[in-house]
Amino acid sequence: MNENQAAGAGPADATQGRRWVGWVAVWILFAAVAAIALVTGKYAISPQDIARVILARLTGTASGVPATVETVVWNVRLPRVLCGLVAGAALSAAGAVYQGLFRNPLVSPDILGVSAGASLGAVLGIFLSLPVIAIQGLSFAGGLAAVALVYAIGALARGRDPTLVLVLAGIAVGALLGSCISLLKVLADPYNQLPAITFWLLGSLASVSRGDFLSVLPAMVLGLVPMVLLRWRMNLMTLEDEEARALGVETARTRLVLIAASTLMTSAAVSISGIIGWIGLLIPHIARALVGPDFSKLLPASLILGGCYLTLMDTLARSASVEIPLGILTAAVGAPFFLWLLLMRSRRGWN
């Protein structure tokens, strides 16, 4: 860094060279992960055939590969990889927003009860033996409703630190919803419903379809747009509330928009994948270490790394002889990695 300064480069451009290399590396990683995930599977398919199917489907021509291969690629593997990329990206982006908003690097997207609300919705759906689409819908609605409730409580309790009130309300509402989930688990049929509930609560992409991907896409885009538009404002939201307001930011309005956007993306991801922990906590850390805290770089880095991480974990999960629920893998890999990060980083602050 000192060399750059001595060379007389402007402060803004000093680290440009290093960043450029970083971005190329991130995109190569993304392409590699997507390719590995598409090629890996119980049913062996050559990379050429996969490329042929996707190309043919996109251009509307005949692919010339066996129908079974085409079905596996187009209806099973591609949706699963796309869902993994989108869910991982969404959870990580939401995590990056929440960590900034709550000025706490140990915050994850479920801090305001979105996961608890989504879980209760889905568990209720399974308990009532509703069809899959209704379970997903209930989970989506449950996540949104939980955060809306927490936000309403936060607005009623006019404390001096609005973010602290939100976090505390989130913990309490989350615990309340958690008790409802436990009650439903006790009441559920232990042979059919309970395994389904448990599997859902541990997270899995095993049953996602092309329809799932397409149905959550609008929510994902709708959530991402404000994040992209407010990417520089987001930096100011990491300051103390009064400091940000003194700088001219309408913090209450901006916070509401960003929380709504993050909740929308998290709920959409959870509704198709179940509860997958650790991504929203871990990935923003790694992204911050790579590109720094500036949200205009942190957001794309979190999106790409999050998508890659979840897809990679999912590929691992379905490569095992018995499919492992995703939540188990992300926690088993994420937690030790996070601890390592903690020990490495604690010496020079959260980076």
Partner 1 sequence: MLKATDLSFGYSKARPIGHGVNFSVSAGEVFCLLGPNGCGKTTLFKTLLGLIPILDGRLELDGHPVAGISRRSFARRVAYVPQANTAYFPFSVFDVVLMGRASRIGAFESPSRSDREIATAKLEELGILHLANRAYTEISGGERQMTLIARALAQQPALIVMDEPTASLDFGNQARVLNQITALAGTGLAVVLSTHEPGYAFSCADTVALMSKGTVLATGAPDTVLTSASLGSLYGVEVAIARLDATGQGICVPVLARRGPVKPI
Interface with partner 1 by CB under 8 A: which residues? 1, 4-5, 10-12, 14-15, 100, 103-105, 160, 229-233, 235-236, 238-240, 242-243, 245-250, 254, 288, 292-294, 296, 348-351
> CB-wise, 198 or 235, nearer to partner 1?
235
Residue 138 burial (CB count, 10 A): 22
Helix H, strand E, coil C: the string for the chain is CHHHHHCCCCCCCCCHHHHHHHHHHHHHHHHHHHHHHHHCCCCCCCHHHHHHHHHHHHHCCCCCCCHHHHHHHHHHHHHHHHHHHHHHHHHHHHHHHHHHHCCCCCCCHHHHCHHHHHHHHHHHHHHCCCCHHHHHHHHHHHHHHHHHHHHHHHHHCCCCCHHHHHHHHHHHHHHHHHHHHHHHHHHCCCCCHHHHHHHHHHCCCCCCCHHHHHHHHHHHHHHHHHHHHCCCHHHHCCCCHHHHHHCCCCHHHHHHHHHHHHHHHHHHHHHHHCCCCCHHHHHHHHHHHHHCCCHHHHHHHHHHHHHHHHHHHHHHHHHCCCCCCHHHHHHHHHHHHHHHHHHHHHHHCCC
| Smallest distance from partner 1 to CB 223, Å | 16
> CB-wise, 174 or 300, nearer to partner 1?
300
| Smallest distance from partner 1 to CB 11, Å | 3
> CB-wise, 9 or 29, nearer to partner 1?
9
> CB-wise, 57 or 231, nearer to partner 1?
231
> CB-wise, 148 or 239, nearer to partner 1?
239
> CB-wise, 254 or 330, nearer to partner 1?
254
- Structure tokens of 296? 């205009």
| Smallest distance from partner 1 to CB 43, Å | 46
- Please name the residues in contact with 291: beta carbons below 8 A apart, sequence gap of 6 or more: 19, 22, 297, 298, 301
> CB-wise, 36 or 239, nearer to partner 1?
239
| Smallest distance from partner 1 to CB 231, Å | 7
- Structure tokens of 321? 């002889």
| Smallest distance from partner 1 to CB 170, Å | 19
| Smallest distance from partner 1 to CB 351, Å | 5
> CB-wise, 236 or 324, nearer to partner 1?
236
| Smallest distance from partner 1 to CB 19, Å | 12
| Smallest distance from partner 1 to CB 36, Å | 33
